[in-house]
Amino acid sequence: MNTATITKAVDERYTASASAPPHPAYCNAVAQAFGYSASDLLSIPSEANLGLSCGNPLALANLHEGETVIDLGCGAGLDCFLAARKVGGAGSVVGVDMNETMLTKARENASKAGISNTTFLLSRITAINLPDATADVVISNCVINLVPRDEKHLVFKEIFRLLKPGGRVAVSDILTKKGLSEEMKRDVALYVGCVAGASMKADYEAWMEQAGFREVIIVDAGVDLNVYARTENKGVGAGCCEPKNVEDINVCSKERDRGSDGSCGSVNTIAGVSEGMKTNFQDVDLNQWAGSFKIFAVKGA
């Protein structure tokens, strides 16, 4: 898939997630499976949690009062609002997302909850209009895998630029455990589902070291990715990596025409899995191919 196809598919998928969120019970079950407590979720606007997490980067970040945090791919604000509570009124949180619908929801959530130490910026995470050395901490949750492969290294360069000396990066993301088949790599639904665009651990280590980070720590969280499929989804949207049970997204199956770049169809509304993904990958055990990883590093002083 080319960059334009990927960007369009991801944007459509997350517009759908923001416009028609899954049932709250689904979202809460997924979030708790990936490390958020019930008290965490009760402390923020309910519509900030869309069931799109693959980990809890705040558990790695060790935030302190007064710090400045940047959240890459902030979505509706889940991690932003939790971070805002930790850094307090003397601190600040900047949520960055390329999807305007998501940012509208995040701003609405902040307004309804009276959260005043968060701001939201429309931008791709490969080039952000913020000054050098802005943040004490950069976080991200299940987003970097969605960036086209030839641009992923730019994300880590941008993180390094945005961090103050001694600043920390804490990321939860999907990484692959072995090479994906060409069919899997071309499947749009698997891409927007956080699998087909995922990279190997060695790739992240290399990109982070090239960006300037040292002593990079990347650890498999050991979480069962099939939680997305097992969790009953009573709404219209499903979470990242969801391999079944959602009917309303249109990506081609083997019988449908493929795009000129060999990719499978166009993602065309509701977040979650496509008909093509159900046809081709409904019996795939995601844990054999990928995992949720914790990624942490410190910028040198």
Question: Are the C-beta atoms of 265 and 258 separated by less than 8 Å?
Answer: yes
pLDDT(103) > 90: yes
Q: Whats the size of the chain, residue-wise?
A: 301
46-69 CB burial, b ≥16 within 10 A, e <16: ebbbbbbbbbbbbbbbebeeebbb
* Percent of the chain whose predicted confidence (pLDDT) is above 70: 82
Boundaries of domain holding 129:
3-298
Does 254 have pLDDT greater than 60?
Answer: no
Comparing 267 with 69, which gets the higher pLDDT? Answer: 69
Question: Taking a C-beta distance cutoff of 8 angstroms, is the pair 26, 52 a contact?
Answer: no
Higher pLDDT pick, 209 / 259: 209
The answer, yes or no, to whether residue 260 has pLDDT greater than 80, is: no
Per-residue pLDDT reduced to its tens digit, 210-220: 999 988 999 99
Per-residue confidence (pLDDT) for residue 278, from 0 to 100: 41
How large is the average pLDDT for residues 14-36? 89
pLDDT tens digit sequence for 165-177: 999 999 999 999 9
Split at pLDDT 50, 70, 90, the class of 73 is: very high
3 state DSSP class of 229: helix
Residue 264: is its pLDDT beyond 80? Answer: no
pLDDT > 70? residue 238? no
CB 11 within 8 A of CB 269: no
Query: What mean pLDDT do residues 32-60 have?
Result: 94
Average pLDDT over residues 70-90: 98
Strands 135-141 and 199-200: unpaired
Domains contained in the chain, number: 1
Backbone angles phi, psi at 169, to 5 degrees: -120, 130
The pLDDT score that the predictor gives to residue 9 is: 87
Least confident residue range of 35-49, 151-165, 223-237: 223-237
- The CATH number assigned to the domain holding 206 equals 3.40.50.150
pLDDT-based confidence at 247, cuts 50/70/90?
very low
Give me the DSSP letters along 119-175: EEEE--TTS-SS-TT-EEEEEEES-GGGS-HHHHHHHHHHHHHHEEEEEEEEEEEEE
Q: What is the pLDDT of residue 86?
A: 98
Q: Rounded mean pLDDT of 52-68? A: 96
**What φ, ψ does residue 170 adopt, rounded to 5°?**
-130, 115
At residue 282, the pLDDT reads: 63
pLDDT above 70 (res 237):
no
pTM assigned to the model: 0.85
Instruction: Find the helix packing angle between 3-19 and 100-113, rounded to 10°.
Output: 30
- What pLDDT is stored for residue 225 in this prediction? 83
* pLDDT at 111 > cutoff 50: yes
pLDDT at 259: 43
User: In this model, does residue 252 exceed pLDDT 80?
Assistant: no
Higher-confidence position of 260 and 68: 68
